[in-house]
Amino acid sequence: MVIRNTKQRQIIQQVLTEAGRPLSIDEILRAAQRQKPSLGIATVYRNVKDLVEDGNAVAVDLPGEGPRYELAGKGHHHHFRCSSCAKVFETKACIGKLRGLVPRQFEITGHNLVLYGRCPDCLARAKKLIGSRKK
Amino acid sequence: MVIRNTKQRQIIQQVLTEAGRPLSIDEILRAAQRQKPSLGIATVYRNVKDLVEDGNAVAVDLPGEGPRYELAGKGHHHHFRCSSCAKVFETKACIGKLRGLVPRQFEITGHNLVLYGRCPDCLARAKKLIGSRKK
DNA sequence: ATCTCTGCAAATGTTTTGCATCAGC
DNA sequence: GCTGATGCAAAACATTTGCAGAGAT
């Protein structure tokens, strides 16, 4: 089966490449539609699925939310989610010392860490609002 | 608005109390229906929602899966999910040192950690299988 | 010209909601 | 007897799939 290099596929890959952070299906759709409005959501789902299956992208699953996707090959890292704007960012590295969390009889093979808080932009915005609110 | 102590509500609370681990909506439904087969899934959703809103239960959101629920008041802890039997267990404590993972401009207010691996039961089962497999 | 990919719409699965009825209080 | 809770079925969402036609090779 020959894989075709369609316009839609190019756009979706480009969107993921340029984002620099994990994107939801909807974020991908909206960004891609700026280049090709007729692009449908099923195409996003199908292409993202293919990307993940081929190992070119990975799903970023945050608890309680639909998955987001980022390009593969970034090494081990985790994510930070801004509670204010809901954007998700990558963290630099990883904590160690997980072994002690669970009895010795458990075998640990992996882990998933998500930090929550506010990103610099939202913090700045909050400060500005406080400065200008009515007294 | 007076909250009524219905049979269904009692059963659902009892199921969560006796489970000792986080349960999915479906697990709750099945366990509750053993005591009252006519109990509907909408009732489970509604009661669990109420429990969470009133702070008597908390959602345990593992990445990529529907939420599970456990009773509140267990203090800060995380979860371990067995990749083999899909059961979820509580971990004792929590790691520190999250501060360094993200640039100083980020404000961290919370986090979520999930460990993956195999639980003692599944490890034991695996060992037994190896011992008895054909040579 | 072939045959995969796309876009649409229908199907699926999950969670929520409207409403008549049931049952705590 | 009020009125909140339940059970059912319909609605609302999110994701997947079938299919005819468009477009890449």
- Residue A77, classed as helix, strand or coil, is coil
Q: Which of A59, A111, A120 sits opposite B113 (nearest CB)?
A: A111
Q: What pLDDT is recorded for position A105?
A: 86
Q: What pLDDT is recorded for position B134?
A: 45
Q: Which of residues 24-43 of B touch A (CB under 8 A)?
A: none
A95 contact B CB<8A = yes
Say how far apart CA A41 and CA A44 lie, in whole Å: 5
Contact A45, A32 (CB under 8 A): no
Q: Out of A60-69, A124-133, B48-57, B71-80, which region has the weakest mean confidence (pLDDT)? A: A124-133
What is the identity of the amino acid at A127? Answer: K
Q: What pTM was computed for the model?
A: 0.80
Q: Read off the tokens for B64.
A: 């990529």
pLDDT digits (tens, 9 = 90+) for B33-46: 999 999 999 999 99
- Residue B33, classed as helix, strand or coil, is helix
Q: Report which of A68, A65, A64, A62 is spatially closest to residue A25, judged by C-alpha positions.
A: A68
All residues at 6 or more sequence positions from A92 whose CB lies less than 8 Å from its CB, including other chains: A77, B100, B101, B102
Q: What is the mean pLDDT of residues A46-54?
A: 94
Q: What pLDDT is recorded for position B11?
A: 97
Q: What pLDDT is recorded for position B5?
A: 94
Say how far apart CA B117 and CA A104 lie, in whole Å: 12
Q: Give start and end residues of each alpha helix (H) in A54-119.
A: none
The confidence band for B131, taking pLDDT boundaries of 50, 70 and 90, is low
What is the identity of the amino acid at A43? Answer: T
Q: What is the mean pLDDT of residues B54-63?
A: 87
Covered bases, chain C (protein CB within 7 Å): 3-9, 14-18, 23-25
Q: What pLDDT is recorded for position B94?
A: 62
What percentage of chain B has pLDDT greater than the value 90?
39
Say how far apart CA B37 and CA B21 lie, in whole Å: 23
Say how far apart CA A91 and CA A111 lie, in whole Å: 14
Q: Which residue in chain B has the smallest CA separation from A124?
A: B105
All residues at 6 or more sequence positions from A94 whose CB lies less than 8 Å from its CB, including other chains: A76, A77, A78, A113, B101
